[in-house]
Amino acid sequence: MNVLHRVTDAVMRVLVFVACTYLIYIVFACAMQVVSRYLLNSSVAWTEETARFAFASMGMIGAPVALRKGLHVNVDILENRLKGKALLVQRLVLNVLLLAASYILLRYGLVLFKNIGGTYSPAVKIPMRCVYYSVPLSGLISMWVVILDSLDILLVTWRGEEW
């Protein structure tokens, strides 16, 4: 199990690096757009489009990291009231739902990736596959994170340890 956690942590570090790179690019592109529009009286066409693509990709790439760290949006009113085995069951049910949502992202992200084929973005003419790659990737890595969390829960239960 430790090897799986180390591999997952390494993947998370790569995802954080990629998401931070996207964020730095977004700040650069938006600043460039503001400077060119207000100081030079000329708008740069590609900055808005690429910043939008980077923002969407950053969100999709960051989702598995948030899931791994438990930072995803949740309503914890029930979780705060449960103890012991009931909490474990609630976590497993939540993981089944997260696994289903991640599977939908993976499956239909792959369909989108396949069907987008030879489409190019309007301003910079990059293949739209370069933009939509993050959807199935996010689904796949999120599935991995949820499965690993579920295995941790089951191991705790099997060992008889307190959660």
User: Which has the higher per-residue pLDDT, 87 or 12?
Assistant: 12
Q: Quickly list DSSP for the chain.
A: -HHHHHHHHHHHHHHHHHHHHHHHHHHHHHHHHHHHHHTSS---HHHHHHHHHHHHHHHHHHHHHHHHHT-S----HHHHH--HHHHHHHHHHHHHHHHHHHHHHHHHHHHHHHHHTT-B-TTT--BTHHHHTHHHHHHHHHHHHHHHHHHHHHHHHHHT---
44 band by pLDDT with thresholds 50, 70 and 90 = confident
Q: What is the pLDDT of residue 43?
A: 84
Q: What is the pLDDT of residue 162?
A: 62
163 band by pLDDT with thresholds 50, 70 and 90 = low
User: Which has the higher per-residue pLDDT, 72 or 66?
Assistant: 66
Q: What is the pLDDT of residue 30?
A: 94
Verdict on whether the full-model pTM lies above 0.85: yes
